[in-house]
């Protein structure tokens, strides 16, 4: 990859602020007067801890990785300065068990959940979920959402480019036979360009493409 590279400190997340719990209770003193029950006050809910994205996933990500989303996540290419264990790092801090990814280029959202024995979403889980979601075959109803003839042409062109890049003859024929997939909705903009926070909630992120 060309261009200026930016090195991030991947372990620079701020520590989680400690929570304060009270286990004390008012008990009657033996032989003494009963202690009146404590008054219950209504407290405003504590603000949620801001969710920070792993820097490797944050938009723009062009300097840190290259991922053509028409290909399996094993093909993600990271910049040499990125730690080898980056795939297993949490996708966010604090760790979350679920993420939702939206995109202005896609008419549906992508749900990310932990894979394997992990209890939180990892960087690898994000790429796996994106790939799996975009590999789903496009329905006629989804294709009909493309309002213009030009948009439909771009999707069809993306489909043809995708299967024509497959060198193996049998795999080529099989991919061609499968028809349009959701990734073709992205047309020529099928490279991962990072995630950005949204106003829809701390677990909802917007996918940028290039």
pLDDT tens-digit map of 158-198:
999 999 999 999 999 999 999 999 999 999 999 999 999 99
- For the chain, percent of residues with pLDDT exceeding 90: 69
Give the rounded distance of the alpha carbon of 175 from its chain centre.
Answer: 26
Q: Which two tokens stand for residue 194?
A: 């990072």
Beta strands per DSSP E along the chain = 52-53, 65-66, 77-78, 92-93, 99-102, 110-112, 192-197, 204-209
Confidence of residue 63 (pLDDT cuts 50, 70, 90): confident
* CA pair distance 192, 66, nearest whole angstrom: 7
pLDDT at 73 over 50: yes
Pairing of strands 204-209, 99-102: parallel
Q: What is the overall mean pLDDT for the chain?
A: 82
* CA pair distance 160, 175, nearest whole angstrom: 10
Range 28-33 average pLDDT: 46
Beta bridge partners of 93: 52
Tell me 94's DSSP state. S
Q: pTM score, two decimals?
A: 0.75
| Cβ contacts of 2 within 8 Å, gap of 6 or more | none
* CA pair distance 125, 100, nearest whole angstrom: 12
Listed range (44-53, 67-76, 133-142, 148-157) with the worst mean pLDDT: 44-53
Distance linking the first and last C-alpha atoms of the chain: 14
Q: Which two tokens stand for residue 32?
A: 């003494």
CA dihedral 112, 117, 120, 124 (to 10 degrees): -50
Q: What is the pLDDT of residue 1?
A: 42
- For the chain, percent of residues with pLDDT exceeding 70: 76
Range 16-43 average pLDDT: 43
Q: What is the pLDDT of residues 116-156, one digit of tens each?
A: 888 999 999 999 999 999 999 999 999 999 989 999 999 99
Q: State the CB neighbour count (10 A cutoff) for residue 80.
A: 6
pLDDT at 47 over 60: no
Q: Which two tokens stand for residue 39?
A: 């008054």
Range 43-64 average pLDDT: 76
Q: What is the pLDDT of residue 48?
A: 60
Q: What is the pLDDT of residue 52?
A: 94
């Amino acid at each position: 990859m060309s261009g200026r590279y930016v090195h991030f400190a991947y372990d620079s997340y701020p520590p989680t602020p400690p929570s304060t719990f009270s286990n004390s209770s008012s008990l009657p003193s033996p032989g003494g007067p009963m202690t009146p029950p404590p008054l219950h006050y209504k407290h405003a809910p504590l603000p949620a801890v801001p969710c920070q994205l792993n820097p490797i996933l944050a938009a723009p990500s062009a300097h840190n990785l290259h991922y053509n989303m028409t290909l399996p996540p094993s093909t993600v290419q990271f910049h040499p300065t990125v730690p080898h264990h980056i795939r297993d790092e949490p996708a966010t801090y604090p760790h979350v068990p679920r993420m939702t990814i939206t995109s202005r280029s896609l008419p549906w959202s992508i749900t990310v959940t932990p894979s394997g024995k992990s209890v939180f979403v990892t960087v690898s889980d994000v790429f796996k979920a994106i790939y799996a979601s975009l590999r789903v075959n496009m329905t006629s109803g989804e294709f009909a959402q493309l309002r213009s003839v030009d948009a439909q042409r771009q999707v069809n062109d993306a489909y043809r480019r995708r299967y024509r890049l497959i060198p193996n003859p049998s795999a080529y024929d099989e991919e061609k036979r499968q028809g349009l997939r959701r990734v073709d909705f992205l047309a020529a903009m099928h490279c991962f360009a990072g995630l950005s926070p949204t106003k829809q909630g701390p677990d909802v992120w917007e996918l940028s493409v290039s």
